[in-house]
Amino acid sequence: MSKSFKVGIVGATGAVGNELLELLFKRNFPMASLTLLASARSAGKTVEHNGEKFTIKEAVPEIFEDLDIAIFSAGGGVSKALVPEAAKRGCVAIDNSSAFRMDPNVPLIVPEVNAEAIKGHKNIIANPNCTTAISLMALCPLHREFGLKRFFASTYQAVSGTGAKALMELENQVRQFANGEKIVSSVYPYQIAFNALPHIDVFQDNGYTKEEMKMLNESRKILSLPNLVCSTTCVRIPVMRAHSVAINAEFERPVDVEKAREVISKFPGAEVNDDPANLKYPMPLFYQRKEKCGVGRIRRDLAFENGLSFWVAGDQLWKGAALNAVQIAELL
């Protein structure tokens, strides 16, 4: 008989929280109970899913005593305060924030890539940044075949990565533009509609943003490649919920385009969508609400001797956040 788990979602009222709720049911996760948790101001509100009503409870330390697994998606501040509280009460915390990702005692997991690293966890498991998880759906199978040495990435990131208010802001700005009204920005420092912002997260002393450094540091940890080097530019674009990444990667061994397509197509988290003659390539519009990430535009890189250039697209709210977290729970 398979075991059922008492599951909690922390940050249940947010964009990722809504997707977690949907995916747990969609994938038939074995739940004895499901508790939706949020801040005190959301406590008492009800959420309906599949005809069932859930009342939001306040996320306080004591509540984790009655839970087996809690998936956190309420930001780094909440995670720093409550994840250790859950862990010490015997509840396994799967954390979507960046709070514990680089902690050497916390496994950072993408199930298709490093499932074995979950062994020996101390009740805290970290979920990687969205662009890292999506990029690794192409980089990992290529690394296993050719030996990844370094890569450059330019990201085209959806507003869903900023949260529900950003999704609303983009919709409002498009409407304001169409109606000839003044365009109002509050979530981003500049208008996002019909624009591209080469700025995601906080700028660091080296000129890169925190988001750009996550790609380097998290890829090293997940792939167990401490000497891997990469340089990333992260850009926010007016797309709703799927991220895209253009990658130029150099490998240790000679590359072959057909072999690259073959290994990616066999990788569980990816699908090859690569037929330029018929204008077929992954686009964010068509990778919303898809479990697999699309990889296309696969070609020999003209700057690297053993290099490949390619394009990846995947749903930020799914593989970039909620789906990966649910897959970690399934691993448990």
241 residue type, one letter: R
CB atoms near residue 153 (< 10 Å): 23
Active site residue 243: yes
Annotated active-site residue 234? The verdict is no
- Asked whether the beta carbons of 85 and 61 are under 8 A apart, the reply is yes
* Pairing of the two strands 52-55 and 46-49: antiparallel
- How many residues in the chain? 332
Catalytically annotated residue among 91, 140, 143, 243: 243
CA triple 291-297-300, angle to 5 deg = 130
Residue 223: CB partners within 8 Å, gap ≥ 6? 113, 114, 136, 139, 140, 143, 148
Per DSSP, helices labelled H in the chain are 15-26, 76-88, 111-114, 130-146, 164-178, 210-223, 257-266, 323-331
Angle of helix 323-331 relative to helix 15-26, nearest 10 degrees, comes to 50
149 secondary structure, DSSP code: E
The active-site residue, picked from 91, 130, 140, 293, is 130
Active site residues: 130, 243
